[in-house]
Structure 1
């Protein structure tokens, strides 16, 4: 029987690698849970590899070749599937984001990437790395703008964002940049492309005071949550953890302003920025 062909890096390597993994697992008559036990991971993790929502690391590729008898196929090809234009700590999250059917996020300090404008993203990237050459900043910014094209589709993915009011008032890039950024969010909300709510200062203490939160759901893989810190991040697929943080998000939604009041506040703050520049 002919073995699997090496992957073409110009196609969709991660999706092809996942399809080959599913084929090899089924040929070995193993369930996702059974294969996961041999790899010391969960069955849902195997499912995410097959769906292409998780990156196949070299150590897993070698173990898969050994368990499934695939003659080094996964070890040879996981490098092609691992190529990414994003920083290492964010790569898995960005690629999962691109395949998600629903994204629910809480942003405590800044406008999140999918809702950013070019100028806002540029200001954020410059703040992260004040001494980086301009061409590198622009490269990072274009990468972030590429992510926002997910919203070009009229309905997918569902994007539900709870913005802390602090993100509206943290002047990033100047007043003109902030006005443009907030009008951009308001425009997406008015076109019913995204759901945006503001968690106002008057809410006081709330359930997510310790940091940002991003939950992602998929058509053919278990949901995941992404934890992000300063220059680090990780995906978590433990069902109990994901369920607990979905409840956290639900509490944030319940505590936030309604969609109508949130939109009014976003547009009012945008106008404040404009009037401050043009007294």
Structure 2
């Protein structure tokens, strides 16, 4: 069996375990296709893992241990890879930036805040300090920079198509001074005008609707099953159970049906930006 270009396992923890996976797979005489039989993953996905460019999901690690007879080696070391790719993001969020880079489509629900990649620097600082008021300026600056690096999700031509549903209170909640809030909303309008991302607003009088608590994000891929990520203030979880993800996806469809259409939503965001800019009396939030 022909072997591909060698991988330098000393570069990082992910490349070390990726190289080990490929070595054991090839030593067993397995092609990518043969190795993946019985899993939900594709060749490109596995190749990225073997080159240290993608984290190995625990389900695929268990599959590797079962197929290769490695006695739990890869499942045990998934934690090492996850920690190595953390950066300044919260531990529970560490896998999400890599997944976003490979997603075909992202659908998101935010009941309280403008999504991270759409946030201006003042907005990011305010959000971080609300949760970590004693954060040092050095760490705060690093966290702001990491969040701004994700702006490509909405601003790059090669970004995934993204659908965002926001609660109406997000655009009226003055978490910044009026001029900065106006700039934040104007930026949101500017990005949405590029038509790579689409937004809908759930109005305050919409009654009951799915996902009334917590942020949720769905990601679909060309070479792997869809995932859902949900987050609270100090915790987050990736959900990959196919039945559960499908159930949540159906609920997201009902959420979109309860929201304003994209054109009406954009007009309301523009109005909010103008009202902040002009210092008008803002609507009373319930």
In structure 2, the CA distance between the partners of 1:223 and 1:204, relative to structure 1 (3 Å rule), is same
Query: Where do 1:17-166 residues align within 5 Å?
Result: 20=22, 24=26, 27-28=29-30, 31-32=35-36, 34=38, 43-44=39-40, 50=46, 52=49, 55-56=55-56, 64=64, 68=68, 79=80, 82-85=84-87, 86-166=89-169
- Residue 7 of structure 1 aligns with which residue? 9
- Coordinate RMSD, CA, aligned: 4.0
In structure 2, the CA distance between the partners of 1:266 and 1:23, relative to structure 1 (3 Å rule), is farther
Distance in 2 separating the partners of 1:243 and 1:187? 32
- Residue 233 of structure 1 aligns with which residue? 236
- Residue 185 of structure 1 aligns with which residue? 188
Bigger CA drift: 45-54 or 92-101?
45-54
Q: Is the 8 A contact 2:112 2:167 kept in 1?
A: yes
Q: Deviations over 1:63-92 (max 9, x none)?
A: 95786378x996899856733312211011
Q: Is the 8 A contact 1:14 1:55 kept in 2?
A: no
Bigger CA drift: 149-158 or 247-256?
149-158
Deviation at 1:249, TM superposition (A): 1.2
TM-score (norm 1): 0.80
Q: Deviations over 1:97-151 (max 9, x none)?
A: 1211110001000011121112211111111111111121111010000111233
Distance in 2 separating the partners of 1:109 and 1:190? 22
Q: Is the 8 A contact 1:100 1:216 kept in 2?
A: yes
SS in 2 for 1:207: coil
Task: Find the partner of 1:224 among 210, 219, 227.
Answer: 227
Distance in 1 separating the partners of 2:159 and 2:24? 26
- Residue 194 of structure 1 aligns with which residue? 197
- Residue 284 of structure 2 aligns with which residue? none
Q: Is 2:239 the partner of 1:208? A: no
Distance in 2 separating the partners of 1:7 and 1:77? 16
Structure 2: 5+ residue stretches without partners: 282-286
Q: Is the 8 A contact 1:7 1:13 kept in 2?
A: yes
Structure 1: 5+ residue stretches without partners: 35-42
Q: Is the 8 A contact 1:108 1:167 kept in 2?
A: yes
Q: What is the aligned length?
A: 270
- Residue 40 of structure 1 aligns with which residue? none
Considering fraction of residues, name the structure with more helix. Answer: 1
TM-score (norm 2): 0.78
Task: Find the partner of 2:272 among 258, 261, 269.
Answer: 269
In structure 2, the CA distance between the partners of 1:58 and 1:101, relative to structure 1 (3 Å rule), is closer
In structure 2, the CA distance between the partners of 1:205 and 1:47, relative to structure 1 (3 Å rule), is farther
